[in-house]
Amino acid sequence: MTIRERRKASLEAEGYKDLSQDATRLLADGYAARRTRRKRNWYNYCIFGGISGLTILAFLLVLNLLLGVATLLWTSDLDHVLQNWGQPGTGTEGLAWYPTDFTRDILPIPCHSHNDYWRRVPLFSALRAGCTGVEADVWLFDEELYVGHNTASLTRNRTFASLYVDPLVKILEDQNSSSDFYNGTSHGVFDVDPGQSLTLLVDLKTSGAETWPWVLKQVQPLRDRGWLSFMENDTVHTRPITLVGTGNTPFDVLTANSTYRDAFFDAPLDTMWEARRVTPEMQSWPKFDDSLPGERLDEEEGSAEEKLPTSSSETQDLGQGLSGTLPDTEFNPLNSYYASVSFGKAVGRIWRGRLSPRQMKIIRGQIRGAHRRGLKARYWDLPAWPLGLRNHVWDVLVREGVDYLNIDDLRGASKQVW
């Protein structure tokens, strides 16, 4: 206290009358100085800390690069064995080839390769993507079936036999090669699922009545080896290849033999719409309007007043699902396989990036009708752009139970969550 009194007296002698005011000022100046020092310290910490972090990161990247180069220079014994697998003197001679080598790592997916002949490598590109259906447009000229989208794209060497029949025979021969352990002929093209049948959809572009017999003639190598699915005495027997006719394929000619056939029809999906059938256990469910708007019914009633064909000859070469049919033609698994329709024709244009409730009812009713008949539902002419819209349609169709997704983009289809 004596020291404090002396300091106070000294300050008063020097003119500091208001001690409390001056002390407050001194304290404030000291606080500001400390705050400035803290800001500078934090700034220096961020700058030099960031530089140190970047230095460490750069060091780690260089180290990782050096280690990667080292792995290329120094390989393990296992790497040496893998690089020289099957070579003489390694003890692995003759093990480099796997009997069913072609599709051993391919997972089949329910997609249909639309306009497959447009691929850089027809058939093989689709199989590599896992597609379980391929399509060929065929034209009959000079007693030969040529494959192409139109007559301008036809060439002498691109035939139905050279692009599809002969390669399939070779693939299936490799899949079913005779050995001491196996001598059967029932394995399909996919090694991971040998029971999966590949659908070969043949779209006739020329006169159906003249072209279809040539299709049946050219698939004889598959028939001789027992690789075509067939119907016999009201029983369907599934084999590695299921031949389906579409386009101008005449239904009446295809089904002329009522006891045996090894080809099936592509039925019209748009004629199969059905409302949901209410079962007894559904009586307590919430009410759900599953009918289409009345204007669609009015359109159908109006079209029914038109003159209907009374002979299949009147419907020849009318296109997919119509050629050689009558209004009362019944489609079932004994005569048909696909039930197809143009998406734009049956469902309509998508205006707001999403399917409308009415469009969803159309899709559900058509798929329901196809499944009740035991057929595989398929929509072609799907929207391809923008990709968001295309993926939305894909997702909806897969979720609603479409059996084959008609696709042009093989890479996009292989990435689909099936």
Q: What does the alpha-carbon distance between residue 107 and residue 130 come to, in Å, rounded to a whole number?
A: 6
Q: What does the alpha-carbon distance between residue 418 and residue 110 come to, in Å, rounded to a whole number?
A: 8
Whether residue 371 contacts residue 401, with contact meaning beta carbons closer than 8 Å, is answered with: yes
Which CATH fold topology does 109-414 show? TIM Barrel (3.20.20)
Helix axes 2-13, 19-73, angle to 10 degrees: 110
185 burial level (CB within 10 Å; 0-12, 13-18, 19+)? middle
Which residue, chain included where needed, has tokens 């119907």? 231
Residue boundaries of the structural domains of the chain: 16-96, 109-414
Q: Digits of tens for pLDDT over the chain (418 positions)?
A: 565 566 556 555 555 455 455 555 655 556 555 656 555 666 666 666 667 777 888 888 888 888 777 665 665 554 555 667 677 776 666 665 566 667 777 889 899 998 888 888 889 889 988 899 999 999 999 999 999 989 998 899 899 999 999 999 998 988 888 777 777 778 899 988 989 999 999 999 999 999 999 999 999 999 999 999 999 999 999 999 999 999 999 999 999 999 999 999 999 999 999 987 655 555 555 555 556 654 443 344 444 445 777 777 788 888 899 999 998 899 999 999 999 999 989 998 888 888 888 999 999 999 999 999 999 999 998 988 888 888 889 889 999 999 999 988 888 777 766 6
Tally of residues, the chain:
418
Radius of gyration of the chain (CA): 37
What pLDDT is attached to residue 296?
Answer: 43
Residue 369 tokens read as 């009708």
What pLDDT is attached to residue 181?
Answer: 77
